[in-house]
Structure 1
Amino acid sequence: MTAPAPIAEMCSHFGECGGCAHQDWAYPRQLEEKARTLAGYLEAIGWTAPVRVRPSPDIWHYRNKVEFSFGRVRPDGGSPEGGTLHGVSGIPCQRQGTKGAPEARDAGGPGSASPALHVPGPQVPVPVGAPQPAGLVLGFKKRKRWDYTLNMRECRIFSPRAGALLEAARTWAGRESLPAYDSKTHSGFLRHLVLREGKNTGQMMVILVAAAGGLSPEAVEGLQKSFAEAALEACPGATVLWGENAKLADTAVSDTLKTLSGPGYIEERMGDLVFRISPHSFFQTNSRGAQELYAVLRGWVEDSAARRVLDLYCGGGGISLTLARSVEKVVGVEIHPDAVADARRNALLNGIANAEFYPEKAEAFLNFGSMARFFPGESAGGGQDWTAVFDPPRSGLHPGVLKALLAIRPRFLIYVSCNPKLLPADLKALSQCYKMDKIEAFDLFPHTDHFEAALQLSLL
């Protein structure tokens, strides 16, 4: 088979990076493959009508959030995780002794204004004769290798500004002689660099996530100051934050956050709405693609003449607030209190008074009497003049939510799925009381296997 011709805009890291799978496919082919995949899922429930996947408004630089990982390299070019250095050279960092703890920095060397770093985490012995870490890399994980970090110069699906921020963070880390965190030994300091960008506002958020503990407050303050300076030089006007993560899990979520520069949030415009996005807010990854998705959902709700909407898994209120101006009342439910706070702020920011948001599990809200509190006068039995909307995480719809929806039976359901392979099982369960009326698919993730599907169902 002849290899596909290179795409002119293809990222220099494509092929090794785990972020993209199909940059070497022409975009129409990507859409055709996703439509074929969705059709296969829907055939299992008897839906045979053609399904089209709507193209993303942007196929490059479309993501509004990325989470880069710090990693280590050895003098022989390998990494402690078993990989090799890719791309530009690693930035020197502290070498580690045979007990896994870093050695003190030489007096007068780079970063000597800071005290020697005691790295938190268990002290895991390194086998005698094993190569010692001698550098630092920053980027995404290698394809199919969670334990291997690439050293990246760019990200063609995030932002043209990514390269400058990646290089600034690497240079700063080398100047301060800071080692990357090792998720196997749970030692080291630098964990993640998280970037968020308002695609319609141009605002940028930069978050450095470090391991918790191991340094004096004075030393941490010095590092925070120098990191903020480096980030702002690379991206003037950005809001810069410092996060600390004490958990063993390799996630980019911070236990604590400190704003170093700017307001600590960014804003994004979606049509005539403005959304405030805080560091841990859930927000659809593709801002402009999500705007098209939300417009379709609003049209469905308006056509149904439903007067009230219950938005389960509401996040920061993107769907809720888009629908609020088309109905009498919206109630949003979200398990994460920070996201609920964002949703409430966003309602105020946009002058929307008919939307309420509550921090609760969706299954608990539906099963413990909350419905009666917020939709008074309605009881189980079906036919209520309202729509339940749910956009669950990739793990899918909670079984308790399915059970409750079948008991309460709102007149309409709108199911937004970022993992359509779960649709057959969920739709089979819902078919006891509902029929599927409409489906639309949206390519919110160009160059990957992922896409979003939205379905409208009505009571039988």
Structure 2
Amino acid sequence: MNYKKNDSITITIEDMGHGGEGIGKIDGFPFFVKDAVIGDTIEAKVIKAKKNYAYARLMRLLQPSPHRVEPRCPYARQCGGCQIQALSYEQQLKFKENKVRNNLMRIGGYSEVPIEEVIGMEEPYFYRNKAQFPVGKDKDGNIIAGFYASRTHTIINNRKCFLGAEINEIILDKIIAYMTEWNVEPYDEVTGKGLVRHVLIRYGFQSGEIMVCLIVNGETLPKSEKLVESLRELEGMTSISLNVNKKRTNVILGEEIKVLWGQAYITDSIGDVKFQISPLSFYQVNPVQTKRLYERALAYAQLTGSETVWDLYCGIGTISLFLAQKAKQVYGVEIVPQAIEDARTNARLNGIENAAFYVGKAEEVLPEKYEKDGIYADVIVVDPPRKGCEESLLRTMVDMKPKRIVYVSCDSATLARDVKWLGENGYEMERVTVVDQFGMTVHVETAVLLVRKP
């Protein structure tokens, strides 16, 4: 049968796609349905039909899945932040385990995947230590803050995100009250006018320190002392600043930070390691699960105190400093200069002297240090962005002949591609752990141990 737009269908969801959409088939023809979960029987309307598949919108739930739960957030279906809040947490973990396994089998070419454990959260809500809220106006001219609706720049007026720290709602209330009282206009993406674009909030789960940074389309904030006075009433308030971004762009943060009150950073810790975190710093958003992920990576590295370790894509040194506690020497590489400055600061903060950091592309720095300076590695830890590793970097890693490679990944598809390449060039995948750092979303972290073949 040929399906077309606006056709109504009745379908049972049998699987879920990588984006969390439900997948069902009619006579072998697959339909992808957002907000449907495995086990649902639904009525849906076709919104886009292709030759070999179609997309449909959930119209009516005829028979709910036994795995379906009521989302805590009333905006879960509209908001782009959570994709699978309607799926029980137990099933979310199974979905993520299957996602990693299927990618390693389909893309990586493995017939068996040695997944040891899926490390889930004890509390899969209120886990994020960072949130960025766009600010705008509703149709009645009231100032609002929240999140963008899925695949749009329409703000859903919601100050209580069930993934963020609970203090966020109180902070937003104070900022909007200040803006309303002193006629401070939110930024308008269409006209490019208005002042306040976003509110960035960071919360130290271990330290209790709070950072508030207003991203502004200007250099100053009128009556800023009034906002500072209000925010300082909150226990733990440590840093209040402006981030200047006057460009007509979708990029949230500009490059310039102006401190209104307190420090330019907050501190927090993962395990025994302390970190200074600025508005521009990359820092893992789920510190509880990050500790578990890093502990597993450290266990996979099997350090005895005599090893030289390279940490590629090291960021502000989060994994590097974990490794330095057990290694002889750690070298970190990161392309962002500010991140390397932060990494060096964090090493000093912790009294760690056996970690050195280099600015540059990992695929350029590592070959140079290996070929020109003769620096080698017993263990290489790599934690790349979603796109994975360049083949030139993988080649240098193999040429350096480390005993072990620990690959930490936020995208199991590019992980599978790279692990396949390493497998074809002398390394065997021995152990895999799946870590859920992003409950209610489709995202998942994976740690893989690869060992050099004899």
Cα deviation code 1:235-285 (max 9, x no counterpart) = 653311111112322222122111112212111121122111111111111
Q: Match of 1:17?
A: 79
> What aligned pairs does 1:6-405 form with structure 2 within 5 A after superposition?
10-44=72-106, 45-49=109-113, 51=115, 52-75=117-140, 134-145=141-152, 147-212=153-218, 220=220, 222-234=222-234, 237-302=237-302, 307-367=307-367, 369-371=368-370, 377-378=374-375, 385-405=377-397
- What is the CA–CA distance in structure 1 between the aligned matches of 2:170 and 2:143, rounded to whole Å? 17
User: Match of 1:289, as an amino acid?
Assistant: Q
Structure 2 vs 1, CA of residues 47 and 178 (structure 1 numbering), >3 Å: closer, same or farther?
Answer: farther
Pick from 402, 418, 441 the counterpart of residue 434 of structure 2.
441
Deviation at 1:9, TM superposition (A): 7.7
Q: Tell me: CA distance 1:303–1:348, structure 2 relative to 1, closer, same or farther (3 Å).
A: closer
Counterpart CA distance in 2 for 1:72 and 1:400 is: 48
Letter of the structure 1 residue corresponding to residue 201 of structure 2 = L
Are 2:428 and 2:452, in contact at CA under 8 Å, matched by a contact in 1?
A: yes
Once the two structures are TM-superposed, the CA of residue 64 in structure 1 deviates from its matched residue by: 1.0
Tell me the CA shift for residue 222 of structure 1: 3.4
Counterparts of residues 417-456 of structure 1 (less than 5 Å): 417-433=409-425, 434-456=427-449
State how far apart, in whole Å, the 2-side matches of 1:274 and 1:178 are: 37
Deviations 1:350-392 (A, max 9, x none): 111100112212122023x22367xx555xxxxx551111111
Whether 1:410 and 2:409 are equivalent positions in the alignment is no
Supply the distance in 2 between the matched residues of 1:3 and 1:17 (Cα, whole angstroms).
21
- Report the AA paired with residue 314 of structure 2: C
- Secondary structure of the residue that 1:233 maps to in structure 2? coil
Structure 2 vs 1, CA of residues 337 and 262 (structure 1 numbering), >3 Å: closer, same or farther? same
Aligned length: 387
Give the direction of change, closer, same or farther, for the CA distance of 1:20–1:250 in structure 2 (3 Å limit).
Answer: same
Query: Which stretch of the first structure deviates more once superposed, 7-16 or 21-30?
Result: 7-16
> Structure 1 residue 16: deviation in Å?
1.9
Give the match's secondary structure for 1:339.
Answer: helix
Distance 1:389 1:30, change over 3 A: same
Alpha-carbon deviations, 1:401-430, whole Å to 9, x = none? 234324434332111111112222222222
Q: For residue 55 of structure 2, what is the aligned residue in structure 1?
A: none
CA distance in 2, matches of 1:48, 1:388: 24
Structure 1 residue 58, shift from structure 2 partner: 2.9
Q: Is the 8 A contact 1:194 1:252 kept in 2?
A: no
Map Cα deviations across residues 40-75 of structure 1 (whole Å, 9 max, x no partner): 101122151353421024311111111111123223
Q: TM-score, normalised by structure 2?
A: 0.80
CA deviation after TM superposition for structure 1 residue 20, in Å: 1.1
Instruction: Give the 3 Å change call, closer, same or farther, for CA 228–47 of structure 1 in structure 2.
Output: farther
Counterpart residue number, 1:78: none
2:32 paired residue number = none
What SS does the aligned partner of 1:143 have?
A: coil
| Alignment partners' CA distance in 1, 2:409 and 2:231 | 36
The root-mean-square deviation of aligned C-alpha atoms, in Å, is: 2.3
CA displacement at 1:197 relative to structure 2: 0.8
Q: Hey, what's the Cα distance between the residues in 2 that align with 1:136 and 1:48?
A: 54
**Bigger RCO (CA 8 Å, 6+ sep):** 1
CA distance, structure 1, for counterparts of residue 423 and residue 99 of structure 2? 22
Structure 2 CA distance for partners of 1:223 and 1:413, relative to 1, 3 Å: farther
Q: Distance in 2 between matches of 1:321 and 1:244?
A: 31
Distance 2:339 2:206 in 1: 21
1:362 aligned partner, one-letter code: A
Letter of the 2:342 partner, please give it.
Answer: D
Amino acid at match of 1:64: N
Q: Which shifted more, 444-453 or 399-408? A: 399-408
Which structure: greater strand fraction? 2
Q: Take 1:347 and 1:396, find their aligned partners in 2: how far apart are those partners? A: 26
Deviation at 1:459, TM superposition (A): 2.2
Which residue number in structure 2 is paired with residue 381 of structure 1?
none
Distance 1:173 1:398 in 2: 46
Distance 1:223 1:397, change over 3 A: farther
Question: What SS does the aligned partner of 1:321 have?
Answer: helix
- Please give the secondary structure, in 1, of the residue aligned with 2:216: strand
CA contact (8 A) 1:306 1:387 kept: no
Per-residue deviation at 1:332? Answer: 0.7
Residue 201 of structure 1 and its aligned partner are, at CA, apart by 1.5
Cα deviation, 1:317-353, whole Å, max 9, x if unaligned, reads 1100001021110011111121111111111111111
Q: Which residue of 2 aligns with 1:89?
A: none
Question: 2:148, 2:270 → 1: CA distance?
Answer: 31
So what's the TM-score if we normalise by structure 1? 0.79
Contact kept? 1:68, 1:140, Cα under 8 Å: yes
- Per-residue deviation at 1:303? 5.6
